[in-house]
A and B are shown apart, each in its own frame.
Chain A
Amino acid sequence: KQEVTQIPAALSVPEGENLVLNCSFTDSAIYNLQWFRQDPGKGLTSLLLIQSSQREQTSGRLNASLDKSSGRSTLYIAASQPGDSATYLCAVAGSARQLTFGSGTQLTVLP
């Protein structure tokens, strides 16, 4: 059974810092890996999707990497802003439809 772990559970940084969120998974036979953002009282917003054959994806200030063999992914946020404050969720797809989520990292960016 796939298990997804996210470290740290919470992170507080001053505005402008670059930061890294970590995700690890136990079964390397994955379809893809996705990073989501969740704001309080809201649903999830898809940030980046990395296919199993890819090593990284970039969108604006966000860069996600994937190392399938070691079961790890990182989400790099450059020049953090207060608006980046949210919970960031990592999810691994074992098939086209089956996502297993981590518990998330709650990020606070202080002005």
Chain B
Amino acid sequence: ETGVTQTPRHLVMGMTNKKSLKCEQHLGHNAMYWYKQSAKKPLELMFVYNFKEQTENNSVPSRFSPECPNSSHLFLHLHTLQPEDSALYLCASSQDRGNQPQHFGDGTRLSIL
């Protein structure tokens, strides 16, 4: 029981499809994050939201579109993805008052055909 729930756990999609990843946190945190974990590479921060406002966008291609309707929910909308986008996408949350650890979900394993 992580307190951060991601759905779906696995997703296979074609390059022309549109899909969305969902993240929900039950910890009362006010900051949420999307990370990408590719094979043999360190985790890469993609987006940060604080109180529903996007505060970081680490040069992520526009085919990834985040949405944060409230402090408990975070979405990652996907369209026209490339094979190199196949990875584990991890969501995390934290209490944004400094020196608080981030809590991670179990991720969505995304495969692009």
**In the complex, what residues of B have CB within 8 A of residue A22's CB?**
none
User: Given the complex of chains A and B, what is the CA–CA distance between A46 and B105 in angstroms?
Assistant: 12
User: Given the complex of chains A and B, what is the CA–CA distance between A98 and B90 in angstroms?
Assistant: 15
Q: Is the CB of B101 within 8 A of A42?
A: no
Residues 3-56 of A at the B interface (beta carbon under 8 Å)? 4, 31-32, 34, 36, 41-46, 49, 51
Q: Is the CB of A51 within 8 A of B99?
A: yes
| Given A96-B98, A97-B56, A97-B96, also A43-B48 (CB < 8 A) | no
Q: Is the CB of A44 within 8 A of B90?
A: yes
| Given A31-B99, A43-B90, A49-B99, also A101-B106 (CB < 8 A) | no
Q: Is the CB of B2 within 8 A of A43?
A: yes
Say whether A62 faces chain B, with CB atoms less than 8 Å apart: no
Interface residues of A, count at CB 8 A:
24
Q: Which residues of B contact A (CB under 8 A)?
A: 2, 4, 6, 31, 33, 40-43, 45, 48, 50, 55-56, 90, 92, 94, 96-107, 109
Q: 6 other contacts beyond A45-B104, A49-B99, with CB at 8 A cut-off?
A: A51-B99, A97-B48, A97-B94, A97-B96, A99-B45, A99-B102
